[in-house]
């Protein structure tokens, strides 16, 4: 997810760093991911500009397009197109991750008990730590068991499983 933040024309890198930390603290972005947050000046976000709003929630994604009609003295927006809502959100990503993990461990011939253990731990790790970073272009490692565990059949090293770029 990319985040674009508008700020006053005179603001520089110090103020942008403050906004970046605020976005990270609020959970919208990771502070260390510089490419995830971009900044535009008020002049760039002025009258006549179109922008899209995308609310990717738990089970739906809602989108709409707006035009900035006036920016002074009071912001006035108009909707350019009717809002759209599709059943596609974080819950579906979680279900796909769970399905991938379950299939992976079952295919490795692990016991049902071990599969359930690894899937439960791995899914929790994915939801809490890795889901927002996972974009299909980088490999991630998620903890599925204790750090002392190594299981070549299941691809587990030091208690972690490497997720391929495209799961």
Q: Are residues 114 and 145 in the same domain?
A: yes
pLDDT at 115: 97
Q: Measured between alpha carbons, how far is 30 from 36 in angstroms, rounded to an integer?
A: 8
pLDDT at 163: 85
Q: Are residues 26 and 61 in the same domain?
A: yes
Over residues 99-117, the pLDDT tens digits come to 999 999 999 999 999 999 9
pLDDT at 157: 96
Q: Are residues 102 and 80 in the same domain?
A: no
pLDDT at 133: 76
Please give the share of the chain, as a percent, with pLDDT higher than 70. Answer: 92
Q: Are residues 157 and 94 in the same domain?
A: yes
| Greater pLDDT, 115 or 167 | 115
Q: Look at the block and give the residue holding tokens 């690894």.
A: 118
Picking from 61, 86, 111, the residue at the C-terminal end of a domain is 86
Picking from 51, 86, 121, the residue at the C-terminal end of a domain is 86
Over residues 119-140, the pLDDT tens digits come to 999 999 999 888 877 776 778 8
Q: Are residues 109 and 79 in the same domain?
A: no
Q: Are residues 149 and 118 in the same domain?
A: yes
pLDDT band at 155 (very low <50, low <70, confident <90, very high): very high
pLDDT band at 1 (very low <50, low <70, confident <90, very high): low
Q: Are residues 63 and 20 in the same domain?
A: yes
Q: Are residues 69 and 124 in the same domain?
A: no
Please give the share of the chain, as a percent, with pLDDT higher than 90. Answer: 33
Q: Supply the pTM of this predicted model.
A: 0.57
Domain interval for residue 76: 3-86
pLDDT at 59: 86
Mean pLDDT for the stretch of residues 52-64: 83
Q: Are residues 103 and 152 in the same domain?
A: yes
Q: Which of 31-45, 76-90, 116-130 has the highest mean pLDDT?
A: 116-130
Contact (CB, 8 A) for 136 and 93:
no
Q: Residue by residue, what is the 3-state secondary structure of the chain?
A: CCEEEEECCCCCHHHHHHHHHHHHHCCCCCCCCHHHEEEEECCCCCCCCEEEEEEECCCCEEEEEEEEEECCCCCEEEEEEEEEEECCCHHHHHHHHHHHHHHHHHHCCCCHHHHHHHHHHHHHHHHHHHCCCCCCCCCEEEECCCCCCCECCCCEECCEEEECCCC
Contact (CB, 8 A) for 161 and 130:
no
Picking from 32, 57, 86, the residue at the C-terminal end of a domain is 86
pLDDT band at 34 (very low <50, low <70, confident <90, very high): low
Q: Are residues 115 and 77 in the same domain?
A: no
pLDDT at 30: 66
Q: Are residues 50 and 13 in the same domain?
A: yes
Domain count, the chain: 2
Contact (CB, 8 A) for 68 and 75:
yes
Q: Are residues 57 and 131 in the same domain?
A: no
Q: Which two tokens stand for residue 22?
A: 């605020």
Walk across the sheet containing 50-56 and list its strands: 50-56, 61-70, 76-86
């Amino acid at each position: 997810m990319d985040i674009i933040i508008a700020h006053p024309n005179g603001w520089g890198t110090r103020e942008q760093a403050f906004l970046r930390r605020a976005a990270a603290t609020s959970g919208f972005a990771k502070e260390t991911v510089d490419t995830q947050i971009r900044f535009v000046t008020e002049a760039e976000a002025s009258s006549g500009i179109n922008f899209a709003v995308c609310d990717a929630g738990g089970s739906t994604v809602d989108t709409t397009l707006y035009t900035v009609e006036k920016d002074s003295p009071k912001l006035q927006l108009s909707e350019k197109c009717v809002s759209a809502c599709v059943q596609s959100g974080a819950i579906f990503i979680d279900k796909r991750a769970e399905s991938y993990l379950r299939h992976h461990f079952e295919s490795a011939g692990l016991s049902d008990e071990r599969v359930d253990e690894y899937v439960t731990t791995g899914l929790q790790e994915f939801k809490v730590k890795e889901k927002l970073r996972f974009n299909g272009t980088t490999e991630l490692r998620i903890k599925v068991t204790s750090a002392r565990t190594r299981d070549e059949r299941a691809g587990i090293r030091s208690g972690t499983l490497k997720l391929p770029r495209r799961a």
